[in-house]
A and B are shown apart, each in its own frame.
Chain A
Amino acid sequence: GENVEQHPSTLSVQEGDSAVIKCTYSDSASNYFPWYKQELGKGPQLIIDIRSNVGEKKDQRIAVTLNKTAKHFSLHITETQPEDSAVYFCAAMIYGNNRLAFGKGNQVVVIP
């Protein structure tokens, strides 16, 4: 089955700086790659996703890039703010497959 690896496990950034989280996946058939943000005591919330037919997607301060050849995708957060502090999960899936394979999560701490 699909195996998603995520690194680094923790990331501390100064407020205003950028944060980048990288994930790799193993199954070349995966074609949907969402990113979830989990705040303390809450469930994962989808923040951005990308499909395999595009290489980059941006939504305000967050962006995701996908390299299908290398089988990795990254989350970029620019101009970080304290409310960006959370655990971020990447995941991969094949459309219609019904199951998301998650990475282990990345604790992002934005230092004011």
Chain B
Amino acid sequence: EPEVTQTPSHQVTQMGQEVILRCVPISNHLYFYWYRQILGQKVEFLVSFYNNEISEKSEIFDDQFSVERPDGSNFTLKIRSTKLEDSAMYFCASSGDIFTGELFFGEGSRLTVL
């Protein structure tokens, strides 16, 4: 069964460092998303991406964040200068059709900022 894969599974970084989280969405999907979950809190929407551009972003997704689809398979989330409060589990998701609503999630990348 096709699945969304994410790397790394866990990354530890120093505050102020840049981090890139990588995702390989399901191959025939067109819509890509990043969500995050701070420990003990809700899963929160960060950004959606379609046709090589951001289609929607939340208030969390400030100038420190960026997304990119550098080639035909990868979808990346970059945090330019990490803060302690960026520590969270980051989930990538993809969807074949926004009008059916079904999102497929990866297993997540745990980011720990020290």
Contact = CB atoms under 8 A, between A and B. Distances in A.
A102 B42 contact: yes
B98 A46 contact: no
B44 A43 contact: no
Interface residues of A, number: 26
Interface residues on B, range: 20 to 34
Nearest to A32: B101
Interface stretch (B14-22, B63-71, B77-85, B104-112): B104-112
A4, A89, A99, A102 — most chain B CB neighbours (10 Å): A99
Interface string B21-51: 0000000000101010000011111001010
A10 B60 CA distance: 28
A98 interface: yes
A37 B77 CA distance: 24
